[in-house]
Amino acid sequence: MIISKEWVAGKLPKRPKDANKGTFGKVLVVAGSKNYPGAAYLSCAGCYRVGAGLVTLATIPVVQNIVSKKLPEVTFIVLPEEDGVIGEMALDVLFAKISHDVILIGPGLNKKEGTAKFIYRMLKMGIGDLTFVIDGDGLNILSEIKEWDKLLENYGNSAVLTPHPGEMSRLTGLSIEEIQADREKIAQNFADEWGQVVVLKGANTVIASSTQTAISPFANPILATAGTGDVLAGVIAGLIAQGLTTFDASCVGVYIHGMAGEILREKIGEAGALASDLLPLIPQNLKLIS
């Protein structure tokens, strides 16, 4: 399936007039480190711009200080820090405070040992009936865990993995060239093997589950810049929080994100866009599509 505007319009979450913030879901974002605070901001903003009701960022103090000034609508769970990143013992703080519909984990985390152990412990414990969106360094850390896909079995078929070709290479052991040679088949095969939704980013992003495959109609070099993947991960998580399935949320999110890139290209050309330029276009696109 090539994702179309009409298909997306039929999948958009409803916005009842008597809604409250709980109606539109709660997202927990575990993101950011001393060197990558922007990833946390962009992913949280992506959640809100697509309509999520409440976004909570679990992160270290230095990132909280930055994001709270950029995006005061975010609430926070402040986690213990080890050398500028989230430390292993952070799960002891986080575990008792999780009351969310979906967890986005990975943007800007870094791969230091303490953070890697934190993610491993989180996945191994099995935290209730939750959906995960795993992006960025979350994927890089997963790729270094033996039989990492078995950890996700704790959550059933309720995770979305959002790799670019390099991250997909690390997860699968295939070369980037092998992946790029048949993106649709590779995404479908591993979505089936892992039992999760795979969003293989790039020109004409491929979204695959064990039973379905969809392709984005957009191939736009303006999106090949730092931070755009963080925005996309936030958009997908925000849509899941509003009740879409992992596959539908991934398809709708990819389309809205790609459409924002097309609008930017028309305005400024194929170079020079910032990931944050996408953010105000997301709600505009929702209005245009609906």
CATH topology of domain 24-289: UDP-N-acetylmuramoyl-L-alanine:D-glutamate ligase (3.40.1190)
d(CA 155, CA 162): 17
Strand partners, 81: 86
**Average pLDDT, integer, range 266-288:** 94
pTM, two decimals, is: 0.96
Which residue, chain included where needed, has tokens 């800007």? 108
**C-alpha R_g of the chain:** 17
Q: Is the dihedral of CA 30, 33, 37, 38 positive or negative?
A: negative
- pLDDT band at 121; cut points 50, 70, 90: confident
pLDDT value of position 34: 96
Q: With bands split at pLDDT 50, 70 and 90, how would you rate the model's confidence at 127?
A: low
Task: Identify the CA nearest to 5 among candidates 239, 219, 256, 204.
Answer: 256
% of the chain exceeding 90 in pLDDT? 78
Sign of CA dihedral 106, 134, 56, 100: negative
Q: Spell out a b/e string for 110-119, using b for 16 or more CB atoms within 10 Å of the CB, else e.
A: bbbebbbbbb
Name beta bridge partners: 75: 56
Q: What is the pLDDT of residue 159?
A: 93
- Domain residue spans in the chain? 24-289
**What is the sign of the dihedral through the CA atoms of 20, 32, 215 and 131?**
negative
What is the chain's mean pLDDT, rounded? 93
* Sequence-ordered alpha helix ranges (H) in 53-182: 61-70, 90-94, 113-125, 137-142, 148-151, 165-172, 176-181
Residue 36: pLDDT band (50, 70, 90) is very high
At residue 163, the pLDDT reads 98
What does the pLDDT read at residue 97?
A: 84
Please, which pLDDT band fits residue 128 given cuts at 50, 70 and 90?
Answer: low
pLDDT score of 197:
97
Read off the pLDDT of residues 86-96 as tens digits, 9 standing for 90 and up: 998 898 888 87
The gap from C-alpha 57 to its chain's centroid, in whole angstroms, comes to 13
- pLDDT the model gives residue 161: 98
Averaged pLDDT for residues 165-190: 97
Q: 């979204």: which residue's tokens?
A: 207
Kindly state the average pLDDT of the residues 27-36. Answer: 97
Which amino acid, 237? A
